[in-house]
């Protein structure tokens, strides 16, 4: 029986737009009130044809697909909501490699990687990555989720009494990894090197291990991290660095080695994190680091040790994706994703607030989160799927439409997408005055 | 319930979410000034509500400017003693 009383239910109906994610996290009694209330919220949104989340795809994440919304509505959309940056998830060679791997190894790995779950295909992916990134003294530790990489790597590297210093725009997996480690935590202002140095001056005493965590491309803002600046400060103060290149590995830099390569400091990053659900087209993640660190993480990143290894099919497909990323075709797709992103941004600049982003994650700020539900519904029905983020993922009043441009989008699709965004901006009052 | 008592409970839950906070927090500051992120704030507020046994309606929490503002809400929604 629902624990939601009549007053709360009425309040929910009258203020649908004002309820944000964090409000359903409040647990104020022993009853399951927040779950009942959340369930009611989703129910009402479906009733009003406003629930745009969890829409079902029945094909690969191509640039234009059909979606079925939870209430059964069908919509045809231009897909700017998937991380399939280089289109590898549906590349025929990648699919074939995955099929071969499932045929040879079966469906699951059936064990932890440190017990009996390491297969030849996992070693092939690790070796492929070491070759791709080009530093022979490095190794790779594989994880079953990108989230787990930060959770496991940070909590294995940092112990109570050590310190994690994070950019304030860091992904939740970095924050949770720092929390799990039991070390002290400090945030520095986004990409602000002077603030970071101020913090390091206070905490780096020659005895405390300090890990600075940043990202290559910040997915909430679409801008690049200052990897070079952070690496220089880390050297100066004897600290270590973790650079999460989830949205930039295989994509940024001339050879696809990320923002660390772009800024000329790849060999100075202590732990380079990648997420395989992005440009790799698969799922899982990995850390690229000196072999001694990798060996330690393999055993002491507990969420890795106590999880089953990556499934063979996806691993085989991703090994092929890494191989393709190193070919002329990979290079050509890297050039195309950048020109696509620049073209798309040029259609929006001056008309809406695209912020200071310059990557393939294109952001359009619309500010007021109470517009989110109707705006997202409008965009989908007009033929565009995006990834809207709002509080608590970003500060209050800074809600934004986030779009992932890929190398496979055509100019025609991007033009149509921009027209839809501008029509939405007119209707929902976020055109630049 | 005294403001001091409420503030102490809030301080305890802030310290749980952000280790290393020195005792005697300044109520005029925001939680973010102490390094708490938005999800930490949810944990701090719900933890304090459970401990103080005071229920603040969800939408009342959206306009709190600083720690003192949260203390005000707890005072406003505390059960009235006859």
User: Chain B partners of A391 at a C-beta cutoff of 8 Å?
Assistant: 38
| Structural domain boundaries enclosing B52 | 3-77
Q: What residues in B contact A399, CB-CB < 8 Å?
A: none
- Asked if A26 and B46 come within 8 Å (Cβ–Cβ), the reply is yes
Interface test with B, best of A28, A210, A370 (most B CBs within 10 A): A28
Nearest CA distance, A5 vs chain B (angstrom):
12
Residue B48 resides in a domain: yes
Alpha helices per DSSP H over A55-119: 92-105
Question: Is there a domain that residue B82 lies in?
Answer: no
Contacts of B46 in chain A (CB under 8 A): 25-28
Domain A56-83+328-427 fold is 3.90.1150
Cβ of B37 and A11 within 8 Å? no
Instruction: Tell me the three-class secondary structure of A188-236, residue by residue.
Output: ECCCCHHHHHHHHHHHCCCCCCEEEEEECECCCCCCECCHHHHHHHHHH
Residue B39 is part of a domain; what is its CATH number? 1.10.1200.10
ipTM at complex level: 0.71
Is there a domain that residue B10 lies in?
yes
Residue B44 falls inside a structural domain: yes
Closest partner residue to B19 (CB to CB) among A8, A25, A184 is A184
Q: What 8-state DSSP symbol labels residue A29?
A: S
Q: How many domains does chain B have?
A: 1
- Find how far residue B82's CA is from the centre of its chain: 25
**For residues B12 and B44, what is the distance between their CA atoms, to the nearest angstrom?**
9
Pairing mode, strands A184-188 and A240-244:
unpaired
**Mean per-residue pLDDT over chain B, rounded:** 86
Q: Determine whether the interchain pair A185/B18 forms a contact, defined as Cβ–Cβ distance below 8 Å.
A: yes
For residue A65, the SS3 value is strand
CA distance A113 to A305: 7
Strand ranges, E, within B1-82: none
B55:A28 CB<8 A: yes
Q: Which residue has the tokens 């106590």?
A: A306
Q: With a cut of 70, say whether residue B81 has pLDDT above it.
A: no
**How far A174 CA lies from chain B's nearest CA (Å)?**
13
Chain B closest CA to A172's CA: distance in Å?
Answer: 10
* In contact, A225 and A218? CB cutoff 8 Å: yes
Task: Using only the alpha carbons of chain A, give its radius of gyration.
Answer: 22
Nearest CA in chain B to A28: B50
Cβ-based interface (< 8 Å): residues of A facing B: 8, 11, 15, 18-20, 22-23, 25-29, 168, 172, 175, 184-187, 391-392, 395
Chain B residues whose CB is inside 8 A of the A164 CB are none
Contacts of residue A27 in chain B, CB cutoff 8 Å?
Answer: 46, 50
For residue B26, is it within any domain? yes
**Tokens, residue A144:** 């079953």
* pLDDT value, residue A312: 97
pLDDT of residue A106: 97
Compute and round to an integer the Cα radius of gyration of chain B: 12
Contact present, A212 and A204 (Cβ < 8 Å) = no
Cβ-Cβ contacts under 8 Å, A15 against chain B: 59
Give the residue on B whose Cα is nearest the Cα of A18.
B59
| CATH code 3.40.640.10 region(s) in chain A | 89-325
Residue of B nearest to A11 (CA): B59
The reply to whether residue A27 touches residue B46, judged by beta carbons under 8 angstroms, is: yes
Interface mutation vs chain B, best among A4, A168, A185, A188, most B CBs within 10 Å: A185
Partners of residue B59 in chain A, C-beta under 8 Å: 11, 15, 18-19, 23
Question: Which residues in chain A have Cβ-Cβ distances shorter than 8 Å to B39?
Answer: 22, 25, 172, 175, 392
Question: Which among A11, A26, A29 has CB closest to B42?
Answer: A26
Of the residues A14, A26, A27, the best mutation for testing chain B's interface (the one with the most B CB atoms within 10 Å of its CB) is: A26
Max distance between CA atoms of chain B, in angstroms, equals 40
Contacts of A29 in chain B (CB under 8 A): 50, 55
The edge-to-edge listing of strands for the beta sheet with A399-404 is A361-367, A399-404, A387-389
Q: How confident is the model at residue B20 (pLDDT cuts 50, 70, 90)?
A: confident
Query: Each residue's pLDDT tens digit in chain A (433 positions)?
Result: 677 878 788 888 888 888 888 888 887 777 888 899 899 999 999 999 999 999 999 999 999 999 999 889 999 999 999 999 999 999 999 999 999 999 999 999 999 999 999 999 999 999 999 999 999 999 999 999 999 999 999 999 999 999 999 999 999 999 999 999 999 999 999 999 999 999 999 999 989 999 999 999 999 999 999 999 999 999 999 999 999 999 999 999 999 999 999 999 999 999 999 999 999 999 999 999 999 999 999 999 999 999 999 999 999 999 999 999 999 999 999 999 999 999 999 999 999 999 777 899 999 999 999 999 999 999 999 999 999 998 888 888 899 999 999 999 999 999 999 999 999 999 999 999 8
Distance in angstroms (rounded) separating the CA atoms of residues A339 and A392:
32
Give me the pLDDT at residue A314, please.
Answer: 98
**CATH code for the domain defined by A89-325:** 3.40.640.10
Contacts of A178 in chain B (CB under 8 A): none
């Amino acid at each position: 029986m629902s624990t939601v009383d009549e007053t709360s239910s009425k309040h929910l109906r009258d203020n649908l737009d004002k309820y944000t994610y964090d409000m359903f996290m409040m647990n104020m009694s022993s009853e399951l009130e927040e779950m009942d209330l959340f369930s009611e919220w989703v129910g009402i949104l479906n009733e009003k044809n406003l629930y745009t989340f969890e829409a079902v795809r029945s094909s690969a994440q191509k640039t234009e697909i059909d979606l079925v919304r939870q209430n059964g509505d069908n919509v045809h959309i231009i897909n700017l909501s998937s991380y399939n940056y280089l289109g590898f998830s549906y590349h025929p060679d990648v699919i074939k490699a995955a099929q071969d791997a499932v045929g040879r190894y079966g469906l699951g790995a059936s064990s932890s990687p440190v017990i009996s779950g390491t297969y030849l295909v996992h070693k092939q992916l690790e070796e492929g990555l070491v070759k791709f990134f080009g530093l022979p003294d490095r190794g790779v530790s594989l994880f079953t989720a990108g989230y787990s990489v930060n959770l496991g790597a940070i909590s294995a590297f940092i112990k109570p009494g050590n310190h994690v210093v994070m950019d304030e725009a860091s992904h939740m997996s970095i924050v949770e990894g720092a929390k799990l480690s039991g070390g002290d935590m400090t945030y520095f202002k986004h990409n602000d090197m002077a603030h970071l140095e101020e913090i390091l001056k206070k905490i780096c005493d020659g005895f405390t291990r300090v890990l600075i965590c940043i990202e290559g491309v910040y997915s909430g803002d679409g801008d690049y991290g200052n990897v070079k600046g952070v690496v220089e400060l880390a050297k100066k103060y004897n600290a270590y660095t973790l650079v999460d290149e989830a949205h930039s590995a295989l994509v940024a830099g001339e050879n696809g080695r990320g923002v660390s390569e772009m800024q000329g400091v790849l060999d100075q990053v202590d732990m380079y994190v990648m997420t395989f659900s992005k440009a790799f087209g698969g799922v899982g993640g990995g850390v690229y680091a000196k072999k001694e660190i990798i060996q330690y993480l393999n055993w002491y990143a507990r969420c890795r040790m106590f999880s089953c290894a990556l499934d063979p099919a996806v691993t085989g497909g991703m090994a092929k994706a890494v191989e393709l990323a190193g070919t002329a075709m990979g290079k050509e797709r890297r050039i195309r994703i950048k020109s696509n992103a620049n073209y798309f941004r040029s259609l929006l600049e001056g008309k809406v607030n695209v912020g200071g982003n310059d990557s393939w994650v294109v952001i359009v700020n619309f500010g007021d989160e109470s517009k989110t539900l109707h705006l997202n519904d409008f965009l989908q029905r007009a033929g565009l799927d995006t990834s809207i983020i709002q509080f608590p993922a970003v500060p209050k009043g800074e809600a934004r439409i986030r779009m992932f441009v890929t190398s496979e989008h055509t100019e025609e699709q991007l033009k149509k997408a921009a027209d839809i965004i501008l029509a939405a901006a007119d209707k929902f009052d976020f055109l630049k005055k | 319930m005294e403001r001091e008592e409420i503030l102490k409970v809030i301080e305890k839950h802030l310290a749980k979410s952000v280790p290393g906070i020195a005792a005697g927090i300044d109520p005029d500051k925001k939680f973010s000034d102490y390094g708490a992120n938005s999800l930490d704030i949810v944990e701090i507020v719900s933890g304090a509500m459970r401990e103080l046994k005071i229920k603040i309606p969800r939408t009342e929490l959206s306009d709190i400017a600083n720690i003192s503002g949260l203390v005000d809400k707890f005072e406003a929604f505390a059960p009235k003693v006859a």
